[in-house]
Amino acid sequence: MLFHEIYGAYYRTMGRILSAAVSHPVTQEEIRRIIRTHAFGESALAIESAIREERWQLLHPDGSTPLQHAPELPLTSLEKRWLKSLLLDPRARLFELEIPDLEDVQPLFTPADYRIFDRYGDGDPYEDAGYIQRFRMILAAVRDRQPLSICMLDRRGNSMQCNVMPEYLEYSEKDDKFRLMTSGCRYVTIVNLARIIQCELLHKSIRRKPGCQSCADRTVVLEVQDGRNALERVMLHFSHFEKEAEHIEGRQYRIRIRYQKEDETELVIRVLSFGPFVRVTEPDSFAELIRERLRKQMACSL
């Protein structure tokens, strides 16, 4: 099936002509334009003459077609195996994906065929039924701009309730976690989905107050020297933070990262992990945290 002629240029081009003819009679000029766009240069002679002489009895002389539906190509064996492999990813279950006729298909690869070493091991519980149900509800709320009431656990394990307007979902490849970006609540702007233990849709809109942000929002500015692929690694390590990046000159970049107070210690540790390739330029309070941690490390090594 991979190299069958129905996947060739003639079939694909004729399929586009018929798809257009299903909705309206196609003109000779429209047929030529489709052939020029999707087929080979010499294809115009073969395809156009076959249509005009009705050797391919798919179009009437007036440009209409006896077909009632646009033609579709069947999936190749390779495409089916690829799709079967994707469905083995536990994250695929979050999106209610249903692809028929894959029961007897051998996957192209399985999760056991590869190993991800640059990722934390405490990712979200994608196979948990409660997590899946909450994820789907939150995703629907994001799409429909529907406010949510969420009950979540803070870092100390205490539960808290708040009403939020979901803005978008963000996935961190490094942490293997989904996060929900919200507005409408001054205390909660970023929520790890795994910390949400209950949520429900609200049918009353939440007023968004101008400038309403978490009182714990802070900003740190980093200067990155792009050696040893430092820039790409920095963007990956801080992928779940809101940030802005700009080029200064040469291989130097400035990155502004917004974070919450409870993430400050983790942020300090991550910045230090880049050594001389990353320097804190502001604020001085964050730079002092870096210096203090270095002093403690030096004292422990003596």
SS (H, E, C) 6-33: HHCHHHHHHHHHHHHHHHCCCCHHHHHH
Q: Quick one: pLDDT at residue 236?
A: 82
Winning range, highest mean pLDDT, from 95-99, 132-136, 160-164: 132-136
118 vs 193, more confident: 193
| Distant-in-sequence, close-in-space partners of 106: CB < 8 Å, separation ≥ 6 | 81, 84
> Per mean pLDDT, which of 69-73, 88-92, 112-116 is the most reliable?
88-92
* Residue-averaged pLDDT of the chain: 83
What is the distance between the alpha carbons of residues 281 and 297, in angstroms, rounded to a whole number? 21
Q: Which long-range contacts (CB under 8 A, 24 or more apart) does 285-291 make?
A: 286/218, 286/220, 289/264
Lowest mean pLDDT among 36-50, 157-171, 174-188: 36-50
pLDDT average, residue stretch 140-157 = 88
- Please say whether the beta carbons of 232 and 272 come within 8 A: no
The pLDDT tens digits for 263-280 are 788 888 888 888 889 999
211 — pLDDT class (breaks 50, 70, 90): very low
**Predicted pLDDT of residue 143:** 92
- For the chain, how far is it from start to end, CA to CA, in angstroms? 68
Q: Is 80 exceeded by the pLDDT of residue 213?
A: no
Which of 212, 209, 156 minimizes the C-alpha distance to 187?
Answer: 212
Residue 60 and residue 67 in contact, taking contact as beta carbons nearer than 8 Å: no
Report pLDDT for 41.
65
Report the pLDDT value the prediction gives residue 196, as an integer from 0 to 100. Answer: 93
Which residues sit opposite 161 in a β-bridge? 151
Which tokens is 124 given?
């979200």
